[in-house]
Amino acid sequence: MSETSTTKASTAKTGAPRAPAERARLSFDLDVDIAVVGAGLAGLTVALEAAKLGASVAVLEGRHVGWNASGHQLGTVMPGYGLPISDLIARVGFEDTSELWALSKEGAEFVRATATEELIPGIAPSEGALEVSNVDVGDQLISRLQMLGEDFETEVEGWQVDRVRAELNTDHYFHGVYYPKAFQIDGRKYVHGLAALARRAGARIFEDTPVVSIDPSGIRKRIVTPSARLRASHIVLAGNVHLGATLRRLSETLLPVWRYGAVTAPLGERLAETIAFRGSVADSDGIDHFRVVDGDRLMWASPETTWAARPERFAPVIQRRIRTIFPSLGKVEISETWGGAVGQTVHGMPQIGQLRRGLWVASGFGRQGLNTSAMAGQLIARSILWGDERWRLFSPFELVWAGGTTGRIAGHAIGLWGRGSAAAAGALARYRERVRTQERVREARLAEANRQAGTRPPSRRPPPGRPRPERPQPPAPANLGGGEGAS
């Protein structure tokens, strides 16, 4: 698999902090309580939490901290999961959905408490995220708001089309759901901040240390790396889609999806005139996700593939997306592109739990990994050290084979189809809106013409039982000829 890269056309303030030139590699045998495979968001949160609770922890990372998705995300922290809440209720019922939802909020709160300027300097937290609809579905929005607000105790506001369009100058979006308690951070700084905090709590992080094989049998489990062995009572597999041959049957339950992002050059005043909203914006079809950064740059993620590609290939695609949604911005210059592979499960929920005694998994966080990986890290550390059993809420979401190469091809086709049908639905919604607007203009013109002519449009038949209103009688024609009956 090719390494996910970042390409810069010029220096952007949003650039990822460079990994230290000297990376500590595991070169001696070691015994610990907990060994974590993978130094992404999930592995580092497990390490931080377990070390804080007093365990001896070693993290083994094949490349370097945050080189994949965890160091290339947009930093939006929302409650919930990639799977829509209605699907979750259909799958596990209302009670369990309610608990799962509460856990997802705890994950977001963990990030909020960790991503502070005191703990991670430069993390730049800011409030509010907006989910916008590509189609005109105001009635569905109301029931969703009721469910989130009343049943799941999540602070949400429904925004009418006018409010959305006052903040985002585009006719592509209709209604919106505003989450005032969602927030965003510098996502790249966060993963390196987590690593620093885990180290400070006592965890040891070894980079350039790929795990070659695992023997999970016995009380003390064994891990082999190229230059050393490690023994641990618990192993946490947080390798996402890159676990590969180490545990082939587990890694084959994830469909790898590469998502690409970019940041524009400074856009000056025209950006503020087009986008007044300062939080994150995502459309409900999961296609575009963006926000304003550094005052006048736009950070945008959208294209996806089911194979690793060079991120710079997608600069023109992102340019086109920006122009399609916000034509008033014109053609924007792209300063930097990047990409990362997320692991998509067949059921859409993350993989969290104990596979066999002492062997844990925290993976499959898809596009929404900040709150969910934080939640997984806390849950697993507390399960191991405190006997917290809430990870069992994830048991209905089994490890389902993602289909291998065929699954990737199907995944790509389904992704294209989903984007195509979302675009078609959006175009239809905008067409209907145009027709409605034209009708309103026509009616207004007709009413004005009638007013000037002193007539009214023909009234509709009154409801049964109601007296028909008296029609005003047209004035009697003037008797120009001086005939009979004229006064």
Ligand X SMILES: Cc1cc2nc3c(=O)[nH]c(=O)nc-3n(C[C@H](O)[C@H](O)[C@H](O)COP(=O)(O)OP(=O)(O)OC[C@H]3O[C@@H](n4cnc5c(N)ncnc54)[C@H](O)[C@@H]3O)c2cc1C
* First-residue to last-residue Cα distance in the chain: 101
Total residue length of the chain: 487
Separation of alpha carbons 282 and 272, rounded Å? 18
- Which C-beta is closer to ligand X: that of 42 or that of 393? 42
Q: Which is nearer to ligand X, 135 or 321 (CB)?
A: 321
Per DSSP, the three-state class of 376 is helix
User: At its nearest, how many Å lie between ligand X and the CB of residue 177?
Assistant: 16
Of 136 and 280, which CB lies nearer to ligand X in the complex structure? 280
Using the minimum distance from each CB to ligand X, give the nearer residue, 368 or 383.
Answer: 368
Which stretch of DSSP H or E encloses residue 45? helix 41-52
Binding mask 273-312 for ligand X (x = CB under 6 A): ----------------------------x-----------
Per-residue contact flags (x/-) with ligand X for residues 345 to 384, judged by CB under 6 A: ------------------x-xxxxxx--x-----------
Q: How far is the CB of 230 from ligand X (least distance, A)?
A: 11
- Contact with ligand X (CB under 6 A) among 198, 287, 342, 374: 342
For residue 283, the SS3 value is strand
Determine the residue type at 467.
P
Q: Are 104 and 80 in contact (CB under 8 A)?
A: yes
68 binds ligand X (CB under 6 A): yes
Between 246 and 264, name the residue whose CB sits nearer to ligand X. 246
In angstroms, the CA 227 to CA 222 distance is 14
72 touches ligand X (CB under 6 A): yes
Could you write out the three-class secondary structure of 129-155?
A: EEEECCCCCHHHHHHHHHHHHHHCCCC
Tokens encoding 55: 């365990």
CB-based contacts of 264: which residues, under 8 Å, 6+ apart?
297, 298, 299, 300, 322, 332, 333, 334, 335
Nearer to ligand X, 373 or 429 (CB): 373
Residues that contact ligand X, how many (by CB under 6 A): 41
Angle at 247 between CA 245 and CA 252, to 5 degrees: 80
Task: Give the residue with the Cβ less far from ligand X, 358 or 366.
Answer: 366
Is the distance from CB of 111 to CB of 184 less than 8 angstroms? Answer: no
Beta carbon nearer to ligand X, 293 or 342: 342
Among 70, 133, 337, 344, binds ligand X (CB under 6 A): 70
Check if the beta carbon of residue 391 is closer than 8 Å to that of residue 377: no
Least gap, CB of 457 to ligand X (angstroms): 52
Q: What token pair was written down for 237?
A: 């597999």
Give min distance, CB of 435 to ligand X, in A. 36
CB of 273 to ligand X, least distance (A): 25
Residues 226-245, mask of contacts with ligand X (x by CB under 6 A) = ------------xxx-xx--
State how far the Cα of 236 lies from the Cα of 218, in Å rounded to an integer.
Answer: 15
Q: How near is the Cβ of 437 to ligand X at its closest, in Å?
A: 34
For ligand X, the binding residues in 407-466 under the rule CB under 6 A are none
The first and second tokens of residue 232, run together, are: 């641990």
Q: How far is the CB of 340 from ligand X (least distance, A)?
A: 3
Tell me which residue of 279, 278, 281 sits closest to 289, measured CA to CA: 281
Give the whole-angstrom CA distance, residue 339 versus residue 135. Answer: 28
CA dihedral 83, 85, 89, 95 (to 10 degrees): 120
Structure tokens at 387: 């006997």
CB contact at 8 A, 238 and 205: no
Tell me whether residue 70 or residue 133 sits nearer to ligand X (CB atom): 70
Q: Which residue from 210, 266, 348, 418 is in contact with ligand X, where contact means CB under 6 A? A: 210
Angle at which helices 187-201 and 41-52 cross, to 10°: 30
Among 12, 36, 37, 384, interactor with ligand X by CB under 6 A: 37
Q: What DSSP designation does 275 have?
A: B
Q: How far is the CB of 127 from ligand X (least distance, A)?
A: 15
Nearer to ligand X, 62 or 176 (CB): 62
Dig out the tokens for 326 from the structure. 């916000």
Q: What's the sign of the alpha-carbon dihedral 342, 348, 352, 355?
A: negative
Residue 80 in the binding site for ligand X (CB under 6 A)? no
Single out the segment in contact with ligand X by CB under 6 A; choices: 71-79, 315-323, 328-336, 406-414: 71-79
Per CB under 6 A, the segment of 39-47, 118-126, 174-182, 417-425 that binds ligand X is: 39-47
Q: Which is nearer to ligand X, 102 or 161 (CB)?
A: 102
Give the nearer residue to ligand X in terms of CB position, either 72 or 175. Answer: 72
Interface residue list for ligand X (CB under 6 A): 37-43, 60-63, 67-70, 72-76, 210-211, 238-240, 242-243, 246, 259, 261, 301, 340, 342, 363, 365-370, 373
